[in-house]
């Protein structure tokens, strides 16, 4: 290990994160009683400009009046380039800061964006004598944000997670797609002719690089990587496949832009019984190996060593977090 220590963000379940537009209060109660881990009440892109102020009032009332149980509660504020942002932060934190857990900051481009928000939030927390520190979830969804993702991840002690905002990222990088997340038939490898002269087209994942880069910045700074939206909420299989790809890369959760996606995210992002059992077997086998003075042994015909202990521990810790 490096001598450089990585402090993990406060532990929180973040398998699913439901987006709820602040302009639609009829959806709030349902979100509060759903099985989702994190709810974010949105003031940004799901709210039209002429509804911003009413949405802010709706959100403040909902945070104070609805029983959110033990759900993590977040508010997505407007971007730093808008005049809505300062009132989003000031009004929401002054009037509902006791219950709120996180602020979600969209389109973060530089570490200085996070610094500016940190300063404002720190002043409001002190003035209001808020007892609980507000954490930050930052959306990486522009070319600038992705270029600076390393510095952004390290920009504040409030940072808890980075989220891949695939729709805005596509717009910012001018990717040739108009759907939110998912795959694209043009992002494919055409094989050379095979034995029967047939050529096959193998679809790839056009978001792989961006997501993998964000995961590295997160894990190097103790943050949770969270995959963003999948727009086609009728396509449960497509959503599940995208969530699985993200989980395999190291993501801990995925957004739900429709309540039907919550159960899908929770299922994919929770380790299965088989994975937990296998992780425990690895730990037992390595404990036996250590007793016998060995650093590496074979389990089911495969090599396991001290790195396997660390991999298996991640899985077992995740299972323990779920049973808390
Ligand atoms: C989320 O905000 C996105 O742009 O995908
Ligand atoms: Mg966005």
Q: Residues near ligand 1 with C-beta < 6 Å? A: 45, 139, 141, 165-168, 228-229
Residues belonging to the chain = 324
Atom of ligand 1 nearest to the CA of 181: 5
pTM: 0.94
CA 233 to chain CA centroid, Å, is 18
For residue 226, how many C-alpha atoms fall within 13 Å in the half-sphere facing its CB? 31
Q: In terms of CATH architecture, what is 16-270?
A: Alpha-Beta Barrel (3.20)
Compute the distance between CA of residue 121 and CA of residue 139 in angstroms, rounded to an integer.
18
- Report the candidate in 72, 82, 30, 22 with the shortest Cα–Cα distance to residue 46: 22
Atom of ligand 1 nearest to the CA of 44: 2
- Angular region, 162: left φ>0, alpha ψ -120 to 50, beta rest: beta
DSSP-derived secondary structure for 236-257: HHHHHHHHHHHHHHT--EEEES
Mutate to test the pocket of ligand 1, among 165, 171, 206, 246 (most ligand atoms within 8 A of CB): 165
Residues of the chain with CATH 3.20.20.60: 16-270
Mutate to test the pocket of ligand 1, among 168, 182, 254 (most ligand atoms within 8 A of CB): 168
pLDDT tens track, the chain, 324 positions: 899 999 999 989 999 999 999 999 999 999 999 999 999 999 999 999 999 999 999 999 999 999 999 999 999 999 999 999 999 999 999 999 999 999 999 999 999 999 999 999 999 999 999 999 999 999 999 999 999 999 999 999 999 999 999 999 999 999 999 899 999 999 999 999 999 999 999 999 999 999 999 999 999 999 999 999 999 999 999 999 999 999 999 999 999 999 999 999 999 999 889 999 999 999 999 999 999 999 999 999 999 999 999 999 988 988 888 876
Give the distance (Å) from ligand 1 centre to CA of residue 87: 22
Name the residue with the closest Cα to ligand 1, atom 2. 165
Residue 314, pLDDT score:
87
Q: Which residues contact 224 (CB under 8 A, 6 or more apart)?
A: 9, 12, 14, 160, 161, 162, 218, 252, 253
Name the residue with the closest Cα to ligand 1, atom 1. 165
Atom of ligand 1 nearest to the CA of 164: 5
């Amino acid at each position: 290990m490096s001598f450089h220590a990585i402090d993990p963000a406060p532990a929180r379940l973040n398998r699913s994160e439901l987006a709820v537009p602040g302009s639609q209060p009829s959806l709030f109660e349902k979100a509060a009683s759903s099985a989702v881990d994190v709810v974010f009440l949105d003031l940004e892109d799901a709210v039209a400009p002429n509804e911003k102020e009413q949405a802010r009032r709706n959100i403040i009332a909902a945070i104070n009046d609805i029983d959110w149980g033990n759900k993590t509660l977040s508010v997505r504020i407007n971007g730093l380039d808008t005049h809505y942002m300062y009132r989003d932060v000031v009004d929401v934190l002054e009037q509902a800061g006791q219950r709120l857990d996180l602020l979600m900051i969209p389109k973060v481009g530089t570490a200085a964006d996070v610094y500016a928000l940190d300063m404002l939030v720190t002043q409001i927390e002190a003035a209001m004598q808020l007892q609980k520190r507000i954490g930050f979830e930052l959306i990486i969804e522009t070319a600038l944000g992705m270029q600076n993702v390393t510095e952004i991840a390290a920009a504040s002690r409030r940072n808890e997670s980075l989220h891949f905002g695939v729709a805005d990222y596509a717009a910012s990088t001018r990717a040739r797609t108009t759907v939110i997340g998912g795959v694209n038939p043009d992002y494919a490898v055409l094989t050379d002719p095979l034995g029967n002269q047939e050529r096959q087209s193998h679809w790839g994942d056009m978001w792989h690089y961006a997501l993998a880069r964000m995961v590295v910045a997160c894990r190097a700074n103790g943050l949770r990587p969270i995959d963003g939206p999948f727009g086609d909420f009728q396509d449960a299989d497509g959503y599940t496949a995208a969530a699985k790809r993200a989980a395999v890369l190291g993501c801990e959760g995925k957004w739900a832009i429709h309540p039907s996606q919550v159960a899908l995210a929770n299922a994919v992002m929770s380790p299965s019984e088989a994975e937990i059992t296998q992780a425990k077997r690895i730990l037992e086998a390595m404990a036996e190996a250590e007793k016998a003075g060995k650093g590496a042994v074979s389990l089911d015909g495969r090599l396991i060593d001290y790195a396997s202990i660390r991999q298996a521990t991640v899985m077992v810790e995740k299972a323990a977090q779920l049973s808390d």
